[in-house]
Structure 1
C-alpha cells in the first residue's frame, strides 16, 4: 500500500531492488496466509454443521493456535526461496519498468535478462501447493457440508445451516477470483494494453480487503449491532 499510494499521490515511481524483493515476499506470503485461513474456516464450517455437539471439543484453543502456527510457517517456508531465486538473476537496465505499482513475482522475474525456468517452475509449484490445494480442499469440504445439509429433515434447518456459510463462500470468491485473474493475465494476456494489467492488479490488491469487512458485517448480527452502537455514540457526541 505505501508504494501504491506513493505512485498515485506523488508520482514516485522508483523502488530499490532489495525493497522490491521484501515487498514481493510479504505480498505473496500474506496471500498464502489468507488462502490458508479460508481453508481453516471451511473446516470450521464443516465441523460446526456435520458434528455441532463436538465442535467445542474438536476446535479447542490449542488446536486453533497450532493451525495458526502451521499457516504462518507454511507461508514463510513456501515463499522464502523466491527472493533468493530472483536475486541470482541479471536484470537489464532497459527492462526494469514494472507493470504494477507493487512488486509481483511473475512481473519481476520477466524483467530478467537470463534463464528464468527455475523461477517459473518454483512459482508454479507455490501456486499449486498453496492456493490450488486450498481451493480443492475448500470445494471438498463444501461437498461434505452439502451432503450433510441435504440429510436434514427440515427445510428450515437446511436454510439455517447454509446461511451460516454464505459469508465464507463470498469471502472465498472475493479472494480467489482476483488471484486467478491476475495469474491468468500474466500468463496469457501479455498482448493486452498496460491499463488492463494495471486494473487487474489493483483489483487483486484492493478488492479483498475492502469487501471482506462489508461481507462479514452484513451477515454477522453482533458486528452489525456493534457498528450501529459506535455510530450512534459518535452522532450523539
Structure 2
C-alpha cells in the first residue's frame, strides 16, 4: 500500500490536446459508483484524474493476506502506463473518502496520443511519479501486521496537516482492514496496542493520532527502500 502525493492541479502541465478533450467534455466528473465495476472490481484500462476524495486500488493475490493496495490522492493521476502492451488487471477499489474523478478510456486516450506523440512522454512522467510508491507495495504487503497497519496510518494522514500536532484520520477499522489486506481482528489487535502506548485513540470511524513523531519512529523497522510516506 502506498499513495500518490501529488500537488499538481488538473491544468498544470497537462498536454493541451488532453485539455481540449476535457474542455469538450465540459470537465464532467463521475464517481466510483458510475465507473464500470463488477462487484467492486474495476477492469482498469485508461487514465484517471482524481478531483476530490481518496480511494485505493488493490491488486488481490491468490492469498488475500498479501493484498496489494495503492492509495490515489486528490489531484493525483493514475494510469500512465495504460497505453503499453501490458495485461489490464481487475483491480479491487475501495473508496476511502467520497470521490469525483475524470476518466479517459484507453481507446480514446490512444487516439489522442497517436495524433500527438508528446502525450506519451507526459504519460511516462506520470508513471515515473507513481513507480516508487507502486514498488513499495509488495514489500509492505509481505511485512508483519504491525508494519502494515502503521504504514497504512502514515499514508492516510491528511496531506495538508503533516506536522506533529494532533491529527484525525477519517477511516474506520474496516477501511484500514480493506487497505491492509488484514482481517479486522488483526487490525484491531495492532490498534489496541498503539492505544495502550498512547500513540492513538480509536473512535467511531475515526482514529486520532496523538503522537505523530512516536508513531513514525515505529516505522524505522520497515523496509522503505522505494517510498517512505513520512517524508
Give the TM-score taking structure 1 as reference length: 0.25
**Counting strand residues as a fraction of each chain, which structure ranks higher?**
2
User: For the pair shown, which has the larger CA radius of gyration, 1 or 2?
Assistant: 1
TM normalised by structure 2 equals 0.26
